[in-house]
Amino acid sequence: MTRGLRAALAGLGLAVVVSFSIVGALQYALSNKTIGVLAGGTDNQAWAFFQLGTEHHRLHVALLEASAGLSDAAAAERRYEVFVSRLNIVRGGTYRQMFTGRAFYDGTIGEIGRFVDETDALVASRGGFDGVVVAELLVRLPLLRGPIQAMMLGINSVSAGEAAQRWTEITAMQRLATAATVIQAVLCAGFAGLAGWYILQSSRSRRELLQLTGTLNQAKQDAEAASRAKSEFLANISHEIRTPLNGVMGLLGLLVDSRLPPEPQGHARSALRSAENLLTIVNDILDLSKLEAGRIEVEAVDFLLTQPAEDVVSILHPKAMESGNELSYTIDPDARISLRGDVGRIRQILFNLVGNAVKFTRQGRIGIRFTTRPDGAGALLLVVEVEDTGIGIPPEFLGRLFERFSQADGSTTRRYGGTGLGLAICRQLCLLQGGDISVRSEVGKGSTFSFTVRCQPGPDIVEAPLPEPAPEAVDHGPLRILVVDDVEVNRTLMNSLLTRRGHAVRLATNGAEAVTEVVGSGLRLDLVLMDIQMPVMDGCSATEAIRSLPPPLGTIPVIAVTAHAMAGDRERYLAAGMNDYVSKPVRPAELFSAMERVMSRLPGLPSQAPAPAAPDDLAETPLLDQSMLDQLRDCLDMEDLTDMLGLFPGQARIQADEIEAAIAGGDAAAVKRAAHGMKGANANLGAQRLSAIARAIELNAADPEEAARLLQLARQQIEPTRQALEEQFAAAAHG
Amino acid sequence: MIARILAATFLISLASWTAARPVLAAQISVSGAGLAAAETLDSEQLAGLPAVEIATATPWTGKASFSGPYLTDVLALLKAEGNKVSLIARDDYKVELSLTDILRYRPIIATSMNGKPIPPRERGPFWLMFPFDDHPELQNDAWFFRAIWQIDRIRVEP
């Protein structure tokens, strides 16, 4: 609503009020006037004077009748009294007020008054109203006719005048009232018009606003769709980039491993490092764009707060030591240790922040602090603070820190490396988990990053009641068990669980210690419970190392105890030579049934291991992975392809020889290692069938006969593969 | 409005014309339904009936106190029965009242004002008076004009 319109409306309103006031005042004046008229006419004037005249006549008639003997003097006296009462009325209050000062009234009233006074005096002197009085009055009464007549005429003219004046006044008032009414009508019409116009205006602007809102909504949706499409594209493209990049890295790996002269060897190493950096960047982009495209689902697994803390600290500790930093974590005594949430993502955020802190701190301290607090909605908020005494961040960069490709300044990348995506990924991960991330920093003093994620409380850490052993279960009696875990809480928990069951327990804090324990134990161990993520040597490597020991040490049953219970992980553990696995947090019943399974199977092959593919299956596997080859052709030029083709058969044969030597040496671990290498190299080349056979060898490394049979099959594939590759590349060259 | 007029009304004393005069024997003649022949009511008969006091303002007197018998008592005394009553004054002024109104407003035939008999020259001796102050709907000319003074005759109509 414009100011002008508002002023106009206000003015009109004021005018309407004023005109109403005028009309109100007029009405008041009119009604007062009317009251005045009524007051004048309370006792009808004309009637009162007319009655006086009439009584004058009647008195005259009564006097005549009395003198003629037709009636008595008393009747005449009664008429006289009435005549006097009429006089009294006419010269009483209202009339007197109205007409005093007018000649006709004052004269006549005075005359009649004198007549009455004289008559009363006469009556008094005669001692009554007798014939003498009647005769006297007959003489004097007619003398009043003239004055009474004059008074009647005067009153009449006054009435007429007053009526005329009243008429004039009322007419004027009517005119005024009419004019005011007209003005009012005009003002009201104007007011109504303005109001209508305003209503139209506002409805029009409302329509426009609605349209605008619609347009904006559409634009917002379009923008969001575009952003999603961009993220989708980025996610897809980075995923696509990774595959050929893996190929490049595989080939570079082959080059680095081959016997090249020093200079090209150096180039190959540099190229491999560049490729690794490139892969890191692509992985970051993939993570971020997946997050932004909403392709990432939050997982919910039970975990202990110590797990991510220990993992991150143990991995980054060596790096921190290199630059002279202390790295430690504390868990608030009131914090809840057992949680349910996406521990993998929490670990990723923590790893990123602590990695940064280590990178930007020299000769200082890096502290991690964990606390939990209720979020008010039945869940918990895990609050993690990562504090360092590093170089700090200038205030002008703090705002942009969590945006993509943002680093404190351009030279940071050159000095410290990194893609500038880490913190953006962290922020997205926090948001995804219902939390957020923030930072406080002072240049030269250090920085404190603090992030929150929403978790559910995990199961209470109490000892579960011991399950009744199943009746058909074989009782293996007390076992001698090695528990391998880097987290003290976990070790303690397992220890108490097992010792209560009567088992003897030994403890190790990492894979290397575990291998040492197994080696040093002689035959005094029946079972190993192996954590996967550990510093120094992880569970898979330790198991592989144990499996490479001569029997019977190498055949000791190993059960993986891990929080990594993703699809594919199981295969990985079994491939590493583990017999079974239980997931963290450890539920006693699960642990004991896994132990039961493993001990009952002994001595036998782990039935959980995927059966190696039958030769027929392997023979039917496509010789080449067409999509891999397409990607290779896209990434590499003809020369590279030709080089690779040249290298392939020799390389494949060398790998086959290595496997053969290992089988001959009875070295299962060496067989596994060599087969693993063969598997990777051929996968990178797109030699799908060879790669599959190599994988089968890797899985059957402990079975020399089967390995030898498979190796034979592999050797038969080398030449057909080479030919097929040549056809492919020749086609590329000429197509 | 009436009040203003009343306040403004100036009543002159008329003592000079009313004093030292023998009051004529005053009568009301009553005729009509339920009566074989015309009857005469004099001041004494009226004084014999229970006197009722009405304190009210009128356009002619301002605030005053009137006293006299109920009109209904007067009619009952004469065993007159009818649905309408006409009252006529000495100057032949005439008003008609329905029985319904008489029963509703209970007018009196005032024979004294402020404790004194009302002289004929001051609208006496018999003045029909309504309790105007008790009934706002009576405070207008239509009803003021029904307060007939100098009552001379009463006719009861069927």
Residue A78: list chain B partners with CB under 8 A: 24, 90
What region does A451 belong to: left with phi over 0, alpha with psi -120 to 50, or beta? beta
Average pLDDT of the residues in B117-133? 90
Question: pLDDT tens across A312-349, in order?
Answer: 887 788 888 888 888 888 888 888 888 899 888 898 89
- Partner-chain residue, chosen from A42, A89, A116, that has the shortest CB–CB distance to B17: A116
A513 contact B CB<8A? no
Tell me the nearest-neighbour CA distance from A40 into chain B, angstroms. 9
Residue A124: list chain B partners with CB under 8 A: 20
Question: pLDDT tens across A216-271, in order?
Answer: 999 999 998 888 888 788 778 877 887 788 788 878 888 887 788 888 888 888 88
Tell me the nearest-neighbour CA distance from B122 into chain A, angstroms. 6
pLDDT greater than 80 at residue B155: yes
Question: pLDDT tens across A421-479, in order?
Answer: 888 889 989 999 999 999 999 998 999 999 999 999 888 765 334 344 433 344 567 88
What is the SS3 string spanning A237-278?
Answer: HHHHHHHHHHHHHHHHHHHHHCCCCHHHHHHHHHHHHHHHHH
- Partner-chain residue, chosen from B5, B24, B123, that has the shortest CB–CB distance to A78: B24
A382 vs A521, residue with greater confidence: A382
Contact: B1, A39; criterion CB under 8 Å: yes
- Partner-chain residue, chosen from B8, B90, B123, that has the shortest CB–CB distance to A78: B90
Sorted by sequence, the CB contacts under 8 Å of residue A56 that are 6+ apart come out as A83, A141, A144, A145, A148
Average pLDDT of the residues in A134-160? 85
Q: What is d(CA B136, CA B56) in angstroms, rounded to the nearest whole number?
A: 12
Is B49 within 8 Å of B74 (Cβ atoms)? yes
Residue B8: list chain A partners with CB under 8 A: 97
Tell me the nearest-neighbour CA distance from A25 into chain B, angstroms. 18
Q: What is d(CA B76, CA B70) in angstroms, rounded to the nearest whole number?
A: 10
For residue B126, what pLDDT is reported? 92
Contact: A85, B5; criterion CB under 8 Å: no
Q: Which of A330, A241, A336 is nearest to A285 (CA)?
A: A241
For residue A610, what pLDDT is reported? 39
Tell how strand A365-374 and strand A480-484 pair up.
Answer: unpaired
Indicate the range of A27-41, A258-272, A577-591 predicted with least confidence: A27-41
Quote the pTM value. Answer: 0.37
Contact: A82, B141; criterion CB under 8 Å: no
Give Cα separations from A608 to A151, A572, A575, A581 (angstroms): 142, 12, 10, 10
Sorted by sequence, the CB contacts under 8 Å of residue B7 that are 6+ apart come out as B62
pLDDT greater than 70 at residue B21: no
Cis status, amide bond into A551, omega within 30 of 0? no
Is A714 within 8 Å of A693 (Cβ atoms)? yes
- Partner-chain residue, chosen from B1, B11, B24, that has the shortest CB–CB distance to A93: B11
Q: What is d(CA A368, CA A382) in angstroms, rounded to the nearest whole number?
A: 13
Average pLDDT of the residues in A598-609? 51
A to B CB pairs, distance under 8 Å: 63
Residue B14: list chain A partners with CB under 8 A: 88
A597 vs A412, residue with greater confidence: A597
For residue A288, what pLDDT is reported? 81
Question: What DSSP letter does each residue of A505-531 carry, written as one string?
Answer: EEEESSHHHHHHHHHHHTT--SEEEEE
Is A364 within 8 Å of A388 (Cβ atoms)? yes
Question: pLDDT tens across A523-563, in order?
Answer: 678 899 998 878 788 888 899 888 888 877 888 889 988 76
Residue A97: list chain B partners with CB under 8 A: 8, 10
Tell me the nearest-neighbour CA distance from A160 into chain B, angstroms. 22
Q: Which of A418, A391, A390 is nearest to A405 (CA)?
A: A418
Contact: A93, B12; criterion CB under 8 Å: yes
Average pLDDT of the residues in A38-51? 64
For residue B6, what pLDDT is reported? 34
Q: Please measure the distance between the N-terminal and C-terminal CA atoms of chain B and give it in whole angstroms.
A: 38
Question: pLDDT tens across B33-66, in order?
Answer: 777 778 888 888 888 899 999 999 988 888 999 9
Q: Please measure the distance between the N-terminal and C-terminal CA atoms of chain A and give it in whole angstroms.
A: 72
What is the SS3 string spanning A668-681?
Answer: HHHHHHHHHHHHHH
Candidates B5, B132, B139: best to mutate against A (most CBs of A within 10 A) is B5
- Partner-chain residue, chosen from B20, B60, B90, that has the shortest CB–CB distance to A82: B90
Tell me the nearest-neighbour CA distance from A106 into chain B, angstroms. 16
What region does B30 belong to: left with phi over 0, alpha with psi -120 to 50, or beta? beta
- Compare all CA atoms of chain B with the CA of A32 and give the residue at the minimum distance: B1
A637 vs B119, residue with greater confidence: B119
Residue B123: list chain A partners with CB under 8 A: 85, 89
Of all residues in chain B, the percent with pLDDT exceeding 70 is: 84
Tell me the nearest-neighbour CA distance from A142 into chain B, angstroms. 20
SS3 B129: strand
Place of tokens 């005119």: A175
Residue A54: list chain B partners with CB under 8 A: 91
Contact: A54, B5; criterion CB under 8 Å: no
Q: What is d(CA B28, CA A85) in angstroms, rounded to the nearest whole number?
A: 18
**Sequence letter at residue A493:** L
Task: For residue A355, give the H/E element and its range.
Answer: helix A343-359
- Compare all CA atoms of chain A with the CA of B16 and give the residue at the minimum distance: A117
Question: What DSSP letter does each residue of A116-130 carry, written as one string?
Answer: HHHHHHHHHHHTSS-
Is A281 within 8 Å of A419 (Cβ atoms)? yes
pLDDT tier at A611, thresholds 50, 70, 90: very low
- Compare all CA atoms of chain A with the CA of B143 and give the residue at the minimum distance: A42
Computed over every residue of chain A, the mean pLDDT equals: 80
Contact: B121, A42; criterion CB under 8 Å: no
A96 contact B CB<8A? yes
C-alpha gyration radius of chain B: 15
Q: What is d(CA A253, CA A247) in angstroms, rounded to the nearest whole number?
A: 10
Contact: B17, A92; criterion CB under 8 Å: no
SS3 A373: strand
Question: pLDDT tens across A485-498, in order?
Answer: 887 767 877 887 78
Is A330 within 8 Å of A368 (Cβ atoms)? yes
Residue B21: list chain A partners with CB under 8 A: 120
For residue A214, what pLDDT is reported? 94
A276 vs A364, residue with greater confidence: A364
Of all residues in chain A, the percent with pLDDT exceeding 90 is: 14
Contact: A120, B24; criterion CB under 8 Å: no
Tell me the nearest-neighbour CA distance from B10 into chain A, angstroms. 5
Contact: B150, A82; criterion CB under 8 Å: yes
Q: What is d(CA A511, CA A517) in angstroms, rounded to the nearest whole number?
A: 10
Q: Which of A616, A601, A623, A613 is nearest to A719 (CA)?
A: A623
For residue B11, what pLDDT is reported? 34
Tally Cβ neighbours within 10 Å of residue A61: 14
**Sequence letter at residue A100:** T
SS3 A582: strand
Q: Which of A474, A528, A522, A539 is nearest to A505 (CA)?
A: A528
Chain A (27-56) residues lying within 8 Å, Cβ to Cβ, of chain B: 35, 38-39, 41-43, 51, 54-55
Give Cα separations from A562 to A135, A529, A534, A542 (angstroms): 152, 10, 11, 14
Chain A (115-144) residues lying within 8 Å, Cβ to Cβ, of chain B: 116, 120, 124
8-state DSSP, A324: T
Residue B12: list chain A partners with CB under 8 A: 91-93, 96
pLDDT greater than 70 at residue A732: no
SS3 B50: coil
For residue A698, what pLDDT is reported? 83
Candidates B23, B121, B148: best to mutate against A (most CBs of A within 10 A) is B121
Give Cα separations from A404 to A132, A358, A417, A423, A427 (angstroms): 139, 21, 15, 8, 10
Number of residues in chain B:
158
Tell me the nearest-neighbour CA distance from A31 into chain B, angstroms. 11
A67 contact B CB<8A? no
Candidates A88, A114, A123, A126: best to mutate against B (most CBs of B within 10 A) is A88
Sorted by sequence, the CB contacts under 8 Å of residue A210 that are 6+ apart come out as none
Q: Which of A343, A357, A276, A341 is nearest to A311 (CA)?
A: A343
For residue A386, what pLDDT is reported? 95
- Compare all CA atoms of chain B with the CA of A96 and give the residue at the minimum distance: B10
For residue A384, what pLDDT is reported? 95
For residue A536, what pLDDT is reported? 80
Contact: A85, B8; criterion CB under 8 Å: no
pLDDT greater than 60 at residue A514: yes
Residue B59: list chain A partners with CB under 8 A: 42-43
